[in-house]
A and B are shown apart, each in its own frame.
Chain A
Amino acid sequence: GQQLNQSPQSMFIQEGEDVSMNCTSSSIFNTWLWYKQDPGEGPVLLIALYKAGELTSNGRLTAQFGITRKDSFLNISASIPSDVGIYFCAGQIGGAQKLVFGQGTRLTINP
């Protein structure tokens, strides 16, 4: 089936550091979505991207829709303890309504 490769799988950083994670695919995506999931909770939408090349920010978070339409990255600047969690990329291929999910990036922050 369709697959998104998300990396890294886990990150251990110091508070205040910047974070970068990305997703790549062999398929062309029409939409890229980035979610954060806390333990025992549903994913929360962070940033939605709809156009190739689009760069969007949400506070300390910035995400870009790759120009090839096959990749996307998410950056977090000046990390704080509440950034801890699992980050998922997800995308839509063609006219499909359903999302394809990455494997997730688990972020741990040392105070």
Chain B
Amino acid sequence: GAVVSQHPSWVICKSGTSVKIECRSLDFQATTMFWYRQFPKQSLMLMATSNEGSKATYEQGVEKDKFLINHASLTLSTLTVTSAHPEDSSFYICSARKVGAGRTDTQYFGPGTRLTVL
């Protein structure tokens, strides 16, 4: 299989502060990672595509200046929620894209990070 980790698993912060979430592919290299947000009892909502060595591609309606993404290596992408507010409280999940034999293309997910902004 393929293992993706996220850190921290949960974080509580004060309104106005910034929070950084790390996503690592532990046993494979990922040129592409994805960041999702999930509200209770809903499906995953793609926020942005993170490409190693280049700028992230944000989905419509996602503020790129608020959700900063850095993908500096083939195994690490970070999401920084800047000037967090209570409405940013959510479950943030990353995934890493693994391209296998025969051009198979699969995404493996991290365990998620629960962000609570007070």
Contact = CB atoms under 8 A, between A and B. Distances in A.
Same assembly = yes
A33 B107 contact: yes
Interface string A73-89: 00000000000000010
Nearest to B94: A42
Interface string A19-41: 00000000000010101000011
B25 to A, nearest CB: 13
Contacts, number: 52
A40 B114 contact: yes
A17 B19 CA distance: 45
Given A41-B111, A42-B6, A103 B105 contact: no
A104 B43 contact: yes
Interface residues of A, number: 21
B111 A50 contact: no
Nearest to A44: B109
Interface in B87-118: 91, 93, 95, 97, 102, 104-112, 114
B44 interface: yes
A50 B104 contact: yes
A74 to B, nearest CB: 16
A53 interface: no
A43 B95 CA distance: 9
B34 interface: yes
A101 B59 CA distance: 15
16 contacts: A31-B105, A33-B106, A42-B6, A42-B109, A43-B93, A45-B1, A45-B106, A45-B107, A50-B102, A50-B105, A88-B44, A97-B105, A98-B46, A99-B46, A101-B43, A101-B44
Interface of B: 1, 4, 6, 32, 34, 43-44, 46, 49, 91, 93, 95, 97, 102, 104-112, 114
